[in-house]
Amino acid sequence: MKKQIPNSITLLNLFCGCIAVIFAVNGNLEFAAFFVILGIGFDFFDGFAARILNAQSDLGLQLDSLADMVTSGVVPGIVMYQLLSQVFGKPFYVTPGSWETNQILMSFDWSYVSLLGLLITLASAYRLAKFNIDTRQTSSFIGLPTPANTLLIISLPLILKFQHEAFVSELILNKWFLIGTTLVSCYLLNAEIPLFALKFKTWGFKENKIRYIFLLITAILIIVLQFVAIPLIIILYILISLFWRDKNSNGV
């Protein structure tokens, strides 16, 4: 019975992801972000529960990826689509009974660029599939984890909503910034970049020094900068991982 506890937590992640999809499709990106953050919380604790209860299983691994595909794959793609739609307009929709090939081909305009946001969903799916068969990622990650990438994407509408400043809003709603963020996001998800994982096997400081330092800096940044801190934290996460790898490879 205890082996089903982590799986139940994983399903709560999936449930939150489904609700987030509904909100994101309807353009309510703030509520979508809230349920994504809640789902990512469940995603963290399912693994934690599995380790504590010694209940890891192949089923749990597959279920975790399927839940992440919704919460940290589908949702960020839709969020980016919605942000791009604010810049380019929503893509052309074909209504029932009006499917004419010539009409569709001739009606193309820049609004179709909004669909580029869904590349994040495709890149997330590819990353999650690789993760399940990659034996190198048992204690660390190769490429940016999908939850971290999702936090980066959902922070953008949160910044626009709750920390509205002209310069920041103009930057986020700049078409090249959004397209660039989409492409960089897709690259980071599948790049051969080793990144440390926030998995605590013990609570000792020596074994988890990098994790404790990162969490402390994260807390300070969030308190000071609020949602603006999230993109900075993701960048910091990558930089610390690269520095730590170089330091260890040099035997320091």
In what helix (H) or strand (E) does residue 58 lie, and over which residues does it extend? helix 58-69
Q: Indicate the pairing of strand 194-196 with strand 140-142.
A: antiparallel
Q: How far apart are CA 208 and CA 212, in angstroms?
A: 6
107 is a domain residue = no
Per-residue pLDDT at 81:
96
Long-range contacts of 56-62 (CB under 8 A, 24+ apart): 56/6, 57/3, 59/7, 60/6, 60/7, 60/10, 61/132, 62/132
C-alpha to C-alpha distances, 141 to 118, 131, 132, 145, nearest whole angstrom: 23, 9, 12, 7
Q: Which residues on adjacent β-strands are paired with residue 194?
A: 142
Structural domain contains residue 35: yes
Q: Give the pLDDT of residue 17.
A: 97
pLDDT at 98: 52
Tell me which residue range forms the domain holding 73.
4-90+112-249
* Closest C-alpha among 238, 231, 71, 82 to residue 159: 231
**What does the pLDDT look like over 124-136, one tens digit per residue?**
999 999 988 887 7
* 47-104 tens-digit pLDDT: 777 777 777 777 878 899 999 999 999 999 999 999 999 999 877 665 555 555 555 5
Instruction: Provide the CB-side half-sphere exposure for 184 (13 A, CA).
Output: 11
Q: Which residues pair with 195 in a beta bridge?
A: 141
Does residue 66 lie in a domain region? yes
Q: What distance in Å separates the CA atoms of residue 132 and residue 65, rounded to the nearest whole number?
A: 8
Number of compact structural domains in the chain? 1
User: In this predicted structure, what is the pLDDT of residue 92?
Assistant: 61
Q: What is the pLDDT of residue 250?
A: 46
For residue 133, tell me if it sits in a domain: yes
Is residue 233 assigned to a domain? yes
Low-confidence ranges of the chain (pLDDT < 50): 250-252
Positive or negative, the CA dihedral 126, 132, 133, 136 is positive
Q: Do the domain assignments include residue 95? A: no
Return the CATH number at 156.
1.20.120.1760
What whole-number distance in Å separates Cα of residue 65 and Cα of residue 70?
9
Who contacts 218 (Cβ-Cβ below 8 Å, separation ≥6)?
A: 229, 233, 236
Structure tokens at 191: 């790049």
User: Is 149 inside any structural domain?
Assistant: yes
pLDDT of residue 252: 38
Output the pLDDT for position 112. 86
pLDDT at 246: 54
Residue with tokens 């308190």: 223
The residues that bridge with 142 in the sheet, in sequence order, are 194
State residue 53's pLDDT score: 76
Beta strands in 143-250 (DSSP E): 194-196
Quote the CA–CA distance of 95 and 224 in Å, as a whole number: 48
